Structures are given as structure tokens and as C-alpha cells.
Amino acid sequence: MRIIDIIIKKKQGLALSPEEIYFFIDGYVNGEIPDYQVSALLMAILFKGLKNDEMLALTKAMLESGEQIDLSLINGICVDKHSTGGVGDKTTLVFAPLIASCGLKIAKMSGRGLGHTGGTLDKLESIPNFSIDLTSKEFINQVNDISIAVIGQTANITPADKKLYALRDVTGTVDSIGLIASSIMSKKLASGANFILLDVKVGKGAFMKTEEEARRLARAMVDIGNGFGRKTVAILTNMEEPLGYMVGNSLEVIEAIETLKGNVNNDFKNLCYALAQEMLLMTSSCKDEDEALFTIEQKIKSLEALEKLKEMITYQHGNPEVINDYSLLPQAKSQIEVKAEKAGYVAELNALDIGLAAMLLGSGRERKEDEIDLGVGIKLSKKVGDYVNKGDTLFTLYSNGKNEDKAKEKALNAYKIVSSKVNPKPLIIDIIR
């Protein structure tokens, strides 16, 4: 077999066989096939696409390139959730303890933020001393003991994806549905859960800008998950405006804790509840939506879900006192309130602009190796559909002095204020089972 023939075959729009896909992945990981030939193949895939069988073979080849976590030693139902990334998306910090308090086991490997999107690991690292580095054995033991662990990806998971993703990043080949679906699913399958819930974001702040693209990605990932015998469901959710009111690492931890305390009633809470409901249904833990909602509300009201977060923080060496004392989290030196220049209704709050504004303040990174400032970010006071008087606070910058003016301009630009009432778009667009 020769890689040049595989490149030409894909260039002609033909489907690759599983053997050809294995040859390409093995050869690339072993260093036998050079970057320039893989780049050419990736570009051909981007233009010609991958059929379902090719996606399955690619996912399998990447999955088998590294360690696979065996969760069979864990008693109980092991579940996982993945978000394709957005702005203000601190869902895991609520969903994971909530679902663990409902009796399921959540063994989750999360990622870091990149570009305008945040990452759960950075948020967790706002908690003093919190450790995201556990060995596979410690990870499994913790899930067995307290039903919850959220960690970084262990070093040996899907090395093929790590190498390919780095190459895609610099060759303009990230945005291929087949490549994204197999990249995400190889990692989800390697981390071992039997039930996988995917939150596929759609809109200005998301990877997928249109509903049609998001639907195709969701369908591809659900088919891959189910093809591997793992029950997989995708929820398409709105990412036109940021989720909740807080954007930035410490700020988002606070909003998550407040949600677990039952003090929050907004789109963010609604999304956490909708995802938890779906998980309780897909694992047959509840018979219908009403029972699932009742269970969730009980776990919040009784503070059992909050207690699970506290247990996880304690197990992962963090300071659980943050739950009662937010001053223990990294703080920004100044808070700058930015006021509306005219009255009207908020018609648009561009999630991408808010994400970029928070990043300018230092909350996100352009490159993987960049340092971030965990204390900075943006607190939104008005969201889509709200009425604003001239002079009302639109948002507050939590700043340590970096790029304040640019961040203010960017965030102001995110707001579009009009004279007639506008309703926010529905949060849940569809569920793909």
C-alpha cells in the first residue's frame, strides 16, 4: 500500500477502505508518513468528505492508537457528556455533580479553553490547589468511591488525534465534519463511558455557525457512538449569546456554585437541567421527563448536588471552602461598569464578541501554551430580550488592566439595541437520538 495512492483516491472522491485508513493512521503515528502527505490527504478529506464507514474506521484507528480506559471495574452506570464549546459554558461544573447525586457515575475527561471558548479544566483550576492530573487508576478509584471525577486527558489517550489535530490546526483542515466527529468521538470512546451525551452548540459563539452543519455533526457523532455500542444522544443548543451571565474562569465557577445552591434561574440553569433530564432518560434512571425533572429539583433543593461538587474538590486536593467563600478564588483588581448609550431592547448579544472581549482581558489563550488570568472576565447585566434604559449597566469588566479599552469596545459591539421587543431564540433546538 502507498500513501500517494490513498491521497489520489480521496482526491477523486472515492471512499477509503478500513485497511487504507489504518495504514494512514499507523504510518503517521509511527513517523513513516510525513506531515506533507498527511496534510494533502486531510485537505482531500475536507473537500470530498468521509462516508459513515470511513468515519467509523478513522475513529477506531485513532481510538486504538493509545490507551483505552476500562470502566468495567466501576459498579454502576458510567456516563459522560461533551460540549462542542462555547462562551460562558460552565455546564460540566453543574451537570457532573448533579448527575452524580442522582446515582449515576460520571467519569469525565475535559479540555482547556482555546480561542474565544472556555474550557472546564481552566475553570476548575481557579479553585486553589485543584488537581486535574490523575492517573487512570486514581481516576477509576475516585469514580468508584464518590461517583464523580473530572480530569484532564491522560497522556496516552488517542495519540493519533493529538498529532493530527495539531497538523489540522496549521493546515486549515479543522472544519471538516468527518474529521471533527471522529476526533471528538475517538476521545470520548477512549475514556470508557457507556452513555455519551453530546451538547452540540450552534450559532455565532460556536464552531458550527448554522443549524444544518450542527445537525450533520451531531448525526455523525451519534452514529459513531452507537456504532461502537455506546448509547449516544446529541442535543443541539443555541450559542448565539453567551450561556448565563458570567464569562471568565473564577466568575463562571461562582455562577456554577450559585446554580447548585438553587439561586440561579436563567438559560444556563435551564440547559443544565435539560442535559441532566436527557441523561436520566437515556440511562432509564427515570421513566419520563416529569420524574427526571422532579429528581433534579430534589437534588438541588436538598443541596446533595452541591455536596457532590464539594466532595470532588476535596478528592482532587482543591480547597472546598470556595463554596462558601468566593474571595478564595482568583480575583480581578478592578470592576468597570459599562453603561448603555441608548434605551431599547437587546436584540443581539454576540457570543463571539463577548468571548473575544474576555480573552482580551486575559481569560483565554490564543495558543495552547499561553498563560491565562483566572480572575478576569465579564459579568453581563443584560441579555437578549431585556429592556435597557439609557445609563443602565450593560456589563461589568473584571480586569487586571490588560487591554481594558479594546475589551470594552469589543463587548459593547456585541450588543445590538433596537426599539421593539425581541424574544431570545429557543435554547434547545433539537434532540438527536
Q: Which residues are near ligand URA by CB under 6 A?
A: 165, 174, 179-180, 183-184
Alpha carbon distance 151, 132 (integer Å): 4
Q: Which is nearer to ligand URA, 1 or 166 (by Cβ)? A: 166
Q: Which is nearer to ligand URA, 115 or 227 (by Cβ)? A: 115
Name the residue number minimizing CB distance to ligand URA.
Answer: 183
67 half-sphere exposure, CB direction, 13 A CA radius:
12
From 108, 163, 187, 299, active-site residue:
187
CA-to-CA separations, 125 to 82, 95, 384, in angstroms, rounded: 19, 18, 30
Shortest distance in whole angstroms from residue 252 CB to ligand URA: 20
By the 10 Å C-beta count (0-12 exposed, 13-18 middle, 19+ buried), 75 is classed as exposed
Let me know if 381 is a catalytic residue.
Answer: no
From 101, 182, 183, 250, active-site residue:
183
From 90, 116, 163, 168, active-site residue:
168
| Residue 367 CA to its chain's centroid (Å) | 18
Q: Is 317 left (phi over 0), alpha (psi -120 to 50) or beta?
A: left
From 10, 60, 81, 82, active-site residue:
82
Shortest distance in whole angstroms from residue 291 CB to ligand URA: 34
Strand 148-152's sheet: what is its strand order?
A: 148-152, 105-110, 78-83, 195-202, 231-238, 428-432
From 80, 89, 122, 161, active-site residue:
161
Let me know if 161 is a catalytic residue.
Answer: yes
Q: Which is nearer to ligand URA, 105 or 168 (by Cβ)? A: 168
Alpha carbon distance 47, 162 (integer Å): 22
Q: Which is nearer to ligand URA, 101 or 183 (by Cβ)? A: 183
Q: Cell 433534579 appears where?
A: 296
Shortest distance in whole angstroms from residue 384 CB to ligand URA: 26
What φ, ψ does residue 218 adopt, rounded to 5°?
A: -60, -45
Shortest distance in whole angstroms from residue 114 CB to ligand URA: 9
Let me know if 89 is a catalytic residue.
Answer: no
Let me know if 168 is a catalytic residue.
Answer: yes
Shortest distance in whole angstroms from residue 207 CB to ligand URA: 6
Q: Which is nearer to ligand URA, 100 or 220 (by Cβ)? A: 220
Let me know if 182 is a catalytic residue.
Answer: no
Shortest distance in whole angstroms from residue 174 CB to ligand URA: 6
Q: Which is nearer to ligand URA, 179 or 190 (by Cβ)? A: 179
Contact predicate 352/364, CB 8 Å: no
Question: Which amino acid is located at 95 in the chain?
Answer: F
Q: Could you give the residue numbers annotated as active site?
A: 82, 161, 168, 183, 187
